[in-house]
Amino acid sequence: MQGKLVLSDGTYFLGESFGSPNSTSGEVVFNTGMVGYPESLTDPSYFGQILVLTYPLVGNYGVPNKKFWESEKIQVKGLIVQNYIDSPSHFELERSLGEWLKDEGIPALCGIDTRALTIKLREHGVMLGKLETGSLREARNWKLEAGKDIYDPNSENVLPYVSVDRVETYGSCKKNILLIDCGAKENIIRSLMKRKVRVTRAPWDFDPLESDIRFDGVLISNGPGDPKQAKKTIANVKKILNRRIPTFGICLGSQILALAAGGDTYKLKFGHRGQNQPVIDQTTRKAIQTAQNHGFAVDMKSLGSQWEEWFINLNDGTNEGIRHKSKPFLAVQFHPEANPGPFDGGFLFDEFLKYV
């Protein structure tokens, strides 16, 4: 079966379908990682997006057990690759990538020049698009529907789609970290529990100061969409900051923390997505490799003089972390929990827990 990706400016790419034989639409973004597609596909930060993988060989090690995923299901709206390998080989595989996509109703195309597509997105910026499947004759005769009926995940608050709907507790240690789940990756919870703390996971709009839950610190998770749409979360975090409770933000959590502190955010041209993003620590002047998945960034100039820039992206100079000069508030734009990607930033969980 053939398929077609149509971008909002009318550009289209023809390919072959290897996922579910249905259509979808969303924001088209690219990821520069070489491995880690099971973790990326289940990352809730990709909700509402059609993911383009720049590495040319995808599917060669299949799909592992669910315990290795970052959420309970595939979060992307669709997948675009250059060469799909349908004969995977790995000691932990349970099924092929194509089988997984079909099981979860996610369309995917291969045989597309992902390099040309990525160059277009890099030069133009991320774009909305439609992914449709059908016969070759149908594909060539499809009408371009640029700007019509294409889902834009930044046009609404998408956190209710990816957050938990009730409070959940992990572990039984004395110290308790309240995780505000805006679309949290599972490895954030694993990373905290490895450090001997209990984790209380709460919905995106949960107000901890109105509950009887006792906690020692707050972690605001990663997640999808425009941070300014998360108005309830921003308001709740603002109250937390006013109480001087130790608070750590990751990715979307960094943007929400900045907004709650009176700062501003803006949309990046094409975002940062991959496991090879270098950042530099402004305190130590040491660089680390990081896993990233975000389309927005904090405007450092919008924050007051009590905030300092902690990390900077070495590729484009955008903000990758903030820290308050005197209060226990810190955040990073990248993913210290990795999965997939390097674990260079794992020490940041320890930095946060020093305040708890």
pLDDT at 71: 98
pTM, 2 dp: 0.96
User: For 107-123, what is the mean pLDDT?
Assistant: 97
pLDDT at 257 over 60: yes
Catalytic residues: 251, 335, 337
User: For 97-110, what is the mean pLDDT?
Assistant: 98
User: For 97-104, what is the mean pLDDT?
Assistant: 98
Q: What would the CATH number be for the domain defined by 2-155?
A: 3.50.30.20
Where b means 16+ CB within 10 Å and e means fewer, 285-312 reads: eeebbbbbbbbbbbebeebeeebebbbb
CA torsion angle 228 232 236 237 (round to 10): -20
Q: In this structure, are residues 29 and 49 in contact, taking their beta carbons and an 8 Å threshold?
A: yes
The phi, psi pair for 144, rounded to 5°, reads -75, 130
pLDDT digits (tens, 9 = 90+) for 7-56: 998 899 999 999 999 999 999 999 999 999 999 999 999 999 999 999 99
Band (142; pLDDT cuts 50, 70, 90): low
Domain ranges for the chain, please list them.
2-155, 159-353
Specify the DSSP element, H or E, that contains 218. Answer: strand 217-220
Band (149; pLDDT cuts 50, 70, 90): confident
Distance of CA 32 to the CA centre of its chain: 14
Q: Supply the mean pLDDT for the chain.
A: 95
Residue 247 exposure: Cα atoms within 13 Å on the Cβ side: 29
pLDDT at 141: 61
In the chain, which ranges are continuous DSSP H helix?
Answer: 37-41, 97-103, 114-124, 136-141, 159-162, 186-193, 231-242, 252-260, 347-353
pLDDT at 137 over 70: no
pLDDT at 107 over 70: yes
pLDDT at 334: 98
pLDDT at 212 over 60: yes
E runs forming strands in 18-172: 24-31, 49-53, 57-58, 78-80, 83-84, 108-110, 127-134, 168-170
pLDDT at 208: 96
pLDDT at 171: 95
pLDDT at 245 over 70: yes
pLDDT at 356 over 70: yes
Structure tokens at 7: 């971008």
pLDDT digits (tens, 9 = 90+) for 265-295: 999 999 999 999 999 999 999 999 999 999 9
pLDDT digits (tens, 9 = 90+) for 163-172: 999 999 999 9
Percent of the chain with pLDDT over 70: 96
pLDDT at 138: 62
Q: Is the peptide bond before 203 cis (omega within 30 degrees of 0)?
A: no
- Domain 159-353, CATH class in plain words: alpha beta
Band (146; pLDDT cuts 50, 70, 90): very low
pLDDT at 18: 97
Q: In this structure, how many other beta carbons lie within 10 angstroms of the beta carbon of residue 260?
A: 24
User: For 245-253, what is the mean pLDDT?
Assistant: 98
pLDDT at 206: 98
Percent of the chain with pLDDT over 90: 94
CA-based nearest residue to 352, from 337, 322, 331: 331
Band (134; pLDDT cuts 50, 70, 90): confident
CA-based nearest residue to 345, from 274, 275, 289, 273: 289
pLDDT digits (tens, 9 = 90+) for 56-77: 999 999 999 999 999 999 999 9
The Cα 133–Cα 150 span in angstroms is 16
Give the number of residues written for the chain. 356
Which residue type does 302 have?
S
Band (1; pLDDT cuts 50, 70, 90): confident
